[in-house]
A and B are shown apart, each in its own frame.
Chain A
Amino acid sequence: MEEEKGGFEPKIIGFTCNWCTYAGADLAGTSRKKYPPNIRLIRLMCSGRIDPMFVLKALLNGADGVFLGGCHPGECHYIKGNFYARRRIAALRTILKQFGLDNRVRSEWCSASEGDKFARIMKEMAEEIKQLGPNPMRDKIL
């Protein structure tokens, strides 16, 4: 699976909430904003539904990056789901940091009207992960 750095196309798994970030991605699509096709989105009802284990599983199974998206703080459809999500993600990234895996996990608040922002984040993230190279977990016998 070793790809040359130039030809490396990262696989990014995204977990996004139904109400904001997923809708934002939709908007980016319907308004024909271009962004790299590296992301595979999984829609959850709320960023509060993101179990950190989803992220661990994705990383251990070789995802090159994991994107987590939710409504802006204070704008959660369920009022406070994203406040809890933020604490969990911060804790998880603290753990991942110890092993140099935190920079493969990025979370952003992106509303339903921010199609532009979604496209921009996807560009940035694809670029960042390309710089990092493939996830070392990919080729390991785990």
Chain B
Amino acid sequence: MKGTELKYDDLEGFLKGLIENKVIDALIMPHRVGNKVSYMLVREKNKIEPPASVIFAPSFGVNAANVIKGWMIDNKVGIVAKPCEIRAVIELIKLKQLNEESVLLITVDCSGAFKNEDYAEHYAEIGNLVDSAKIKELEGKGISIREACAICENRLADIGDIIIARVNGKVGVAGLTEMGVEALSAVGLLLEAKDLERKEEKERIVAEARKRLEELPKIDSVEALEEFLQDCILCKNCRDVCPVCYCKECFFDQPLGNPAGGDLLNLAELRGAIEVPANQLLYHLTRVYHVCTTCVACGACEDACPKSIPLTRFYPVLAQKVQEIFEYVPGRDVKEPLPFITYKEEELEERLR
């Protein structure tokens, strides 16, 4: 991967230039309110805040892809976000929930993020930029990154149209697609051929992430699953914040999936007694099947759960097992077909019985 090196302070001109030169009509990017970081949708270039102090901030609130989900528009929107968020956008394009031409995907390096409330609380110690050494040090003080981030193998920006990488105290910018390269040249960033390949760093991240995944408590029986979900109040927040859960009408909002009154009495009669609210296990098992190929392991579901159920141990962990059998990595390539709309004539027989 070849790119060009900029100073952190040059990023502001770059993002402003995208709007000024009409490469994009709007930009979704992080912004700061006091100690907190959230997203904003910018149309006026002077509203862009100095990016260096926000775009790498290790704070996770919503998955930015969920903001733009279902926008079937002709305009072009730039999105500056972390790898898991951009991967979700790519899945949404494949799911036909977005037009490929209406987004310019700008992926930033991520070093792992804290829940946004943890980030705000410990801002003085965390700051705007962290690296793996700093994360270890903070962990020692009891300030830990999200579980989803600890098991993430894809922290380095390597997908989307443009990447913004952190290299040698500077930023490396590269265009990965034709759209990305055009956008960069439109703002006058002609690309020198700096090498942005980071093989060793990637290997180190993958090894660490796998180790952390191994260490996660396992949910490995029906009983363990029941216990894991016992506190679930079926608020369905985990569905609503999930970038790749996209049905217009969810089965679990309809009478069959969300039975009440006489229907519920009948079900209770059938079994003698049922847990209420009903369908706790069916809801989660169905949802994990629905997202099993597209889950980007962002952990937004866990963050949104009002009962603090550590959903990362369920959704991304199970999804990864399914993704392995199809050798599919969500968000890796917009051209790669979704596993459920393609097939090979000879495959998978050993998994059927």
Contact = CB atoms under 8 A, between A and B. Distances in A.
Interface of A: 52-53, 56-57, 60-62, 73-74, 80, 83-84, 86-95, 97-101, 106-108, 136-137, 140-142
Pick from B271, B280, B292 the residue with the most CB of A within 10 Å. Answer: B271
Contacts of A97: 321
8 contacts: A60-B281, A84-B341, A86-B343, A90-B348, A94-B322, A98-B220, A101-B222, A140-B226
Given A99-B221, A137-B222, A87 B348 contact: yes
Contact of B352 (A52, A100, A106): A106
Contacts of B220: 98-100
Nearest to B347: A86
Given A53-B286, A53-B289, A86 B348 contact: yes
A84 B353 contact: no
Given A86-B348, A88-B340, A98-B220, 19 more contacts: A52-B289, A80-B343, A86-B349, A86-B352, A87-B326, A87-B339, A87-B340, A89-B351, A90-B348, A91-B293, A92-B289, A94-B322, A99-B222, A106-B353, A107-B352, A136-B223, A141-B273, A142-B271, A142-B274
B351 A95 contact: no
B219 interface: yes
A56 B222 contact: no
User: Closest 10 A-B residue pairs measured CB to CB?
Assistant: A83-B343, A90-B351, A90-B348, A107-B352, A106-B353, A91-B322, A141-B273, A94-B322, A56-B285, A99-B222
B16 to A, nearest CB: 45
A141 B221 CA distance: 16
A95 B292 contact: yes
Contact of B281 (A87, A90, A106, A142): A142
Interface in B295-333: 318, 321-322, 325-326
A78 to B, nearest CB: 13
A13 to B, nearest CB: 15
B275 interface: yes
Contacts of B281: 60, 142
B286 A56 contact: yes
B289 A136 contact: no
A77 to B, nearest CB: 16
Interface string B35-51: 00000000000000000
B222 A100 contact: yes
A2 B349 CA distance: 35
Interface string B214-253: 0000011111111000000000000000000000000100
Pick from A87, A100, A140 the residue with the most CB of B within 10 Å. Answer: A87
A106 B353 CA distance: 4
A108 to B, nearest CB: 7
Contacts of A73: 345-346
A92 B348 CA distance: 12
A72 B226 CA distance: 37
B288 interface: yes
Contact of A60 (B282, B318, B348): B282
A134 B340 CA distance: 32
Nearest to B280: A142
B282 A57 contact: yes
A57 B285 CA distance: 10
A95 B343 contact: no
B351 A74 contact: no
Contacts of A140: 222, 226
Contacts of A62: 271
A108 B280 contact: no
B252 to A, nearest CB: 11
A83 B351 contact: no
